[in-house]
Amino acid sequence: MDPKAHVLERYHAKVFKNRKEHILRIDHAEEAQTITANTRTIPGIITNRGCCYAGCKGVVLGPLKDVAVITHGPIGCGFYSWGTRRNKAAPDEEGKNFTQYCFSTDMQEPDIVFGGDKKLRAAIDEVYSLFSPGSIMICSTCPVGLIGDDIHAVAAEAEKKYGIPVVAYSCEGYKGVSQSAGHHIANNGLMKRIIGADDAPPATKYSINLLGEYNIGGDGWEVERILKRCGYEIVSIFTGDGSWKKIARSHMANLNIVQCHRSINYVAEMMKEKYGVDWLKVNFIGVAAVADSLRRMAKYFGDAELSRRTEEVIADESAAIAGEMDSCKTKLDGKTAALFVGGSRAHHYMHLLAELGVRTVLTGHEFGHRDDYEGRKVLPFIKEDADNKNIEHLHVEPDQKKYRAFLSQEEYGRLKAEIGLEDYAGMIRDMENGSYVVDDLNHFETEQFLKCLQPDIFFSGIKDKYMLQKAGVLSRQLHSYDYSGPYAGYTGAIRFGHDVIMGLYTPAWRFVTPPWRNISSLEGSFGGDI
C-alpha cells in the first residue's frame, strides 16, 4: 500500500483530514506541490514540538553569553532550558559566560495570586548586584501572561535604574503553535532594542553577520574558522557563542548570511528593510554546500582577491578530506535515511548524506513554515490564522541615518537571481521523487513510516531516539549531535560520516537476537553488514 495511505488509514475523519495536508509524496512532475505547515498540533497527538518559550529563550536568546536571561515563571521552564542545548560558548573578554547559569523567579502560589512583578523586580536587583551583567533579558512563561504581570514595565524601570539594556519578551508557552513563535518574538526584541544600538564600524569591507548559527557542538566555531580563512570579518553571530554587544553593531556589516532560515529570517528581513543589509541563505553542512555558499558570498563582494582566497580554501580543505570522504562513502553507499529535525537541518543534512551515498527517503520539520518547504515564493500566499496573528509582526522602515546599500542598484539586480539574495528556495526542491515530506511528524506516524520505508538510519531528536532504536533502527540526534560535532564544514562532514558508520556497525546490533532465537530474517535488518 502507498505509505501515505497506510499511515493515514488508522486516523478517524477529523485527524485524517488534518494530517493528510501535512504529508506529501514528492513528485516534481506536478507543478508546485504544496504542504500545510505551522498550524496547531491536534491535542492528544504525540508531537515532538516544544513551545514558544523554548524557541525564544531556549533557542535564540539562551546562547547569548553576555546576557543574564531571567526566566520569569515557575521553576520548570528555566531548569529545562539550562545547559541542555549544546550551544557552546567561551567566556567573553570580561570573563563572563552566562550560559552556565540558570536564573528563575521560581514563582510560587502567592506570586500567581498576587502578581509576580515584585519578585521579578527583586530578582533583577539581585542578579545585577551579583553579576553586573551588561544586559538583562526576561523571558516569561505561561502563567505570567495569564495573570498579567507587566514585565515590560519592570524591564523599562530596571533599564533606567541600571543604565543597561533590559529587554522583556512575552514568550509564554501557549503562544503560537510551536517553538517558531518564540523565534519570532526573540527576533523582534533583538531588532527593537539591540540591533543598531552601536554604530562602531567594522574594520574591513568583508564584514558579515552569521545568522541562525547556534554553535551546537561547536559548528559556529568551525564555520568561523573557514570564513576567517577566506578573509571575512565576522561582526556578530546570532546567537551561538553570541554577544549582545556585537549584535548591537551588526547593522554596520555589509552582508548577513543565514544558516537556519526558520529561526532568524525575521531579523534578516528587517535588517534589509531598515538598514539595507542584504542577506544570503547559506548552508555549511555538506562539502558541496560549503563550497557553494562560500562562492556565492565571494560573488556578492565581487573582489578578485577574495574569490581567489575562497577557491584556495575550498581546494585546500576539500582535498584534505577527500580520501576520508571516499572511505566513509564505501561503508554508507546505498543506505537510506529519514530526517526529522527542527526547521532547517532536515534540509541541510540531505546534501551531506547524499555525498556519503545515503539517500533520504523521508524528511520533515518539527516547526517549519511553508516557506521552509516550498521556498519564499509562497510567502505572499500563506494565509494568516488566529495563532499566527497573535505574534507581533514588526513593521520597520528604512532608518534615514543608518540605511546603506552595499551594492549599486545595477549590481543588486544582477546578483539577486545569480546568488539568490534575500531568497530561500526551500527543501522540497532538493528532494528526490518518491520520497516523503511530513510536517510535524508524530510518534504514530514515525512508527508507521518506519515500517513502510524501512530507513537504515533515522535522524531525529531525543524524544523518539530510543523508540526508534528499540525498533532496531539506528537513531542519531540531529539536535544535539549525540554529544559529538562539530558537523559543519569540511572536517565536520568527516566526523559526521564516522559517527554514522560507528552507529551502524557497532557490534552490539549483532547481539539483539539471542542465539536461541535464531530468526535469520530479523538479524538482517539491524545495522550494517561487516
DSSP for residue 93: T
**Which residue of the set 51, 56, 102, 488 is catalytic?**
51
The H-or-E segment that residue 334 falls in is: none
x/- contact string, 305-344, with other proteins (CB under 8 A)? ----------------------------------------
Instruction: Phi first, then psi: give them for residue 67, nearest 5 degrees.
Output: -120, 130
Dist. CA 325–CA 330, nearest whole Å: 9
Check if the beta carbon of residue 317 is closer than 8 Å to that of residue 226.
Answer: yes
Task: Give the binding-site size for other proteins (rule: CB under 8 A).
Answer: 96
When asked if residue 91 is in the footprint of other proteins (CB under 8 A), the reply is yes
Dist. CA 207–CA 254, nearest whole Å: 5
- 491-520 binders of other proteins (CB under 8 A): 512-513
Interface residue with other proteins, options 102, 138, 297, 328 (CB under 8 A)? 102
x/- contact string, 455-474, with other proteins (CB under 8 A)? -------xxxxxxxxxxx--
- 389-408 binders of other proteins (CB under 8 A): 390
Report residue 43 as a C-alpha cell.
491535542
**Known catalytic membership, residue 5:** no
Q: Which amino acid is at 197?
A: A
Output the smallest distance, CB 371 to other proteins, in A: 21
- 426-455 binders of other proteins (CB under 8 A): 443-444, 447
**Known catalytic membership, residue 230:** no
Contact region for other proteins (CB under 8 A) — 100-108, 205-213, 313-321, 413-421?
A: 100-108
- Helix and strand tally (H, E) in the chain? 22, 14
Contact region for other proteins (CB under 8 A) — 41-49, 207-215, 269-277, 310-318?
A: 41-49
Closest CA to 461 of 365, 358, 335: 365
When asked if residue 69 is in the footprint of other proteins (CB under 8 A), the reply is no
Contact region for other proteins (CB under 8 A) — 30-38, 74-82, 190-198, 305-313?
A: 74-82
Give the 3-state secondary structure of residue 257.
strand
Check if the beta carbon of residue 162 is closer than 8 Å to that of residue 368.
Answer: no
**Known catalytic membership, residue 498:** no
When asked if residue 46 is in the footprint of other proteins (CB under 8 A), the reply is yes
**Known catalytic membership, residue 295:** no
Closest CA to 434 of 361, 341, 374: 361
Interface residue with other proteins, options 1, 29, 93, 95 (CB under 8 A)? 95
Task: To the nearest 10°, report the CA torsion of 35, 368, 217, 496.
Answer: 0
x/- contact string, 128-167, with other proteins (CB under 8 A)? -xxx---------xxx-xxx--------------------
Closest CA to 369 of 446, 448, 424: 424
**Which residue of the set 37, 54, 171, 253 is catalytic?**
54
When asked if residue 175 is in the footprint of other proteins (CB under 8 A), the reply is yes
Dist. CA 284–CA 267, nearest whole Å: 20
Which active-site residues does the annotation give? 51, 54, 85, 183
